A and B are shown apart, each in its own frame.
Chain A
Amino acid sequence: MTENKKGRYGPYGGRYSGETLMHALFELEKSYREAHADPAFREEYARLLREYAGRPSLLYHAQRMSLDIGTTVYLKREDLNHTGAHKINNVLGQALLAVRMGKKRLIAETGAGQHGVATATAAAYFGLECDVFMGKEDMIRQSLNVYRMELLGATVHEVTDGTATLKDATSEALREWSRRIDDTFYVIGSVVGPHPYPEIVRDFQRVIGDEIRAEMLEKHGRLPSVLIACVGGGSNAMGTFYPFIGDASVRLLAAEAGGEGVGSGRHAASVTAGSTGVFHGMKSLFLQDDEGQITPVYSISAGMDYPGIGPEHAYLHDTGRARYYPVTDQEAIDAFEYLSRMEGIIPAIESAHAVALLTKLRSEFTPDDFVVVTLSGRGDKDVEAIGRYRGKIN
Chain B
Amino acid sequence: MRKDNIIDTTFKKLRAEGKKAFIPFVTAGDPDIETTYRIAKEMIQNGANLIEFGVPYSDPSMDGPVIMRADKRAMDSGTRLRDIFDLVGKLSVEYPETPFLLLLYFNSIFVYGVERFFDAAEKAGICGLIVPDLPLEERAEAQPCADAHGIYLISMVTPTSEERAEQIATSATGFLYCVTSLGVTGARKSYATSFAEYFSKLDSFSDIPKCAGFGISDPEQKRKIEQYCDGTIVGSAIVRKVEQGIEAGLNSEEIARSVGAFVRGFTGGKSNDPSVL
By a beta-carbon cutoff of 8 Å, the part of chain A in contact with chain B is 6, 14-24, 161-162, 167-168, 170-171, 174-175, 178-181, 275-281, 283, 288, 290-295
Among A24, A174, A294, point to the contact of B160 (Cβ < 8 A): A24
Which residue of chain A has its CB nearest to the CB of B110?
Answer: A278
Assess the A19–B81 pair: CB atoms within 8 A. no
Q: What residue of chain A has the Cβ atom nearest to residue B135's Cβ? A: A22
A131: min CB distance to chain B, Å: 15
Residues of B within 8 A of A21 (CB): 160
In the complex, which residues of chain B have a beta carbon less than 8 angstroms from the beta carbon of A22? 135, 137, 160-161, 164
Whether B108 lies near A292 (C-beta < 8 A) is yes
* Residue contact A291 to B112, C-beta cutoff 8 Å: yes
**Which residue of A20, A168, A174, A179 has the most chain B CB atoms within 10 A of its CB atom?**
A20
Question: Which A residues are CB-close (under 8 A) to B110?
Answer: 276-278, 283, 292
Name which residue of chain B comes closest to A22, CB basis: B135
Given the known inter-chain contacts A181-B182, A292-B110, please indicate yes or no for A278 contacting B133, CB distance below 8 A.
yes
Q: How large is the interface on B (under 10, 10 to 19, 20 to 34, 35 or more residues)?
A: 35 or more
Q: How far is the CB of A292 from chain B (nearest CB, A)?
A: 3
> Judging by beta carbons under 8 Å apart, are A277 and B62 in contact?
no
Per-position binary interface string of chain B over residues 133-157, scored 1 when its CB falls under 8 Å from any chain A CB and 0 otherwise: 1110110000000000000000011
Please tell me if B204 contacts chain A, counting CB pairs below 8 Å.
no
Q: Is B61 on the interface with A (CB-CB < 8 A)?
A: yes
A120 → B minimal CB distance (Å): 23
The 6 closest A-B pairs by CB, nearest first: A292-B111, A179-B183, A292-B107, A171-B61, A293-B58, A294-B58
Are B160 and A288 within 8 A (Cβ)? no
Known: A18-B132, A175-B61, A292-B111. A23 touches B164 (CB 8 A): yes
Distance in angstroms between the alpha carbons of A16 and B57 in the assembled complex: 16
* A279 (CB) vs chain B CBs: closest residue: B107
Listed in ascending order, the chain B residues whose CB lies under 8 Å from chain A are 57-62, 64, 68, 75, 80-81, 105-108, 110-112, 132-135, 137-138, 156-158, 160-164, 168, 179, 182-184
Inter-chain contacts of B137 with A (CB < 8 A): 6, 14-15, 22
- Residue numbers in B under 8 Å from A294 (CB-CB): 58-59
Contacts A15-B138, A20-B158, A180-B182 given; does A293 touch B57 at CB 8 Å? yes
Taking a contact as CB atoms closer than 8 A, the residue among B138, B161, B163 that contacts A16 in the complex is B138
In addition to A18-B135, A180-B182, A181-B160, 9 A-B residue pairs with Cβ atoms within 8 Å of each other are A18-B132, A24-B160, A168-B59, A175-B61, A277-B111, A280-B61, A288-B111, A293-B57, A294-B59
A290 in contact with B111 given A17-B135, A19-B161 (CB within 8 Å): yes
**Could you tell me the distance in whole angstroms from the C-beta of A61 to the nearest C-beta in chain B?**
44
Decide: B81 and A167 in contact? CB cutoff 8 A. no
Chain A: CB-nearest residue to B155: A19
B133 contacts A16, CB within 8 Å?
Answer: yes
| Closest Cβ–Cβ distance, residue B232 to chain A (whole Å) | 18
Q: Are B135 and A275 closer than 8 Å at their CB atoms? A: no
Task: Please report whether the interface of chain A is mostly helix, strand, loop or mixed according to DSSP.
Answer: mixed
Report whether A275 and B61 are in contact in the complex, using a CB–CB cutoff of 8 Å: no
Cβ contact within 8 Å between B183 and A175: yes
A20–B138 touching, CB < 8 Å: no
27 A-B pairs in the complex with CB atoms less than 8 angstroms apart: A16-B106, A16-B133, A16-B135, A19-B157, A20-B179, A20-B183, A21-B160, A22-B135, A22-B137, A23-B161, A24-B160, A161-B68, A162-B59, A168-B59, A175-B61, A175-B183, A179-B182, A179-B183, A179-B184, A181-B160, A276-B110, A281-B133, A283-B110, A288-B107, A291-B108, A291-B111, A293-B58
Bound-state Cα–Cα, A278 to B59, Å: 12
Q: What are the residues of chain B within 8 A of A14 when measuring CB–CB?
A: 137-138
Task: Give the interface centre of A19, A21, A178 by most chain B CB atoms within 10 Å.
Answer: A19
**Smallest beta-carbon distance B135→chain A, Å:** 5
Nearest A residue to B137, CB-CB = A15
Contact indicator A278/B107 (Cβ below 8 Å)? yes
Cα of A291 to Cα of B68 in the assembled complex, Å: 18
User: Is the beta-carbon distance between A20 and B164 smaller than 8 angstroms?
Assistant: no
Residue pair B161, A275 in contact (C-beta under 8 Å): no
Closest residue of chain A to B108, judged by CB?
Answer: A292
Q: What is the bound-complex CA distance between A328 and B81, given in angstroms?
A: 34
The winner among B60, B133, B158 for most chain A CB atoms within 10 A is: B133
B135 A171 Cβ-Cβ under 8 A: no
CB pair A16–B111 under 8 Å, yes or no, is no
How far is A20 from B215 in the complex, measured between Cα atoms in Å?
14
Q: Is the CB of A277 within 8 A of B158?
A: no
What is the bound-complex CA distance between A168 and B60, given in angstroms? 10
Residue of B nearest to A280 (CB): B61
Select A18's contact among B58, B108, B112, B133, beta carbons within 8 Å.
B133
Distance of A19 Cα from B135 Cα, bound (Å) = 6
Could you tell me the distance between the alpha carbons of A160 and B110 in the complex, rounded to whole angstroms?
Answer: 28
- Distance of B132 from chain A, by nearest CB (Å): 5
Q: Quick check: A278 and B68 within 8 Å, CB to CB?
A: no
User: A178-B62, A181-B182, A280-B61 in contact; A20/B160 too (CB < 8 A)?
Assistant: yes
- Min Cβ gap B182→A in Å is 6
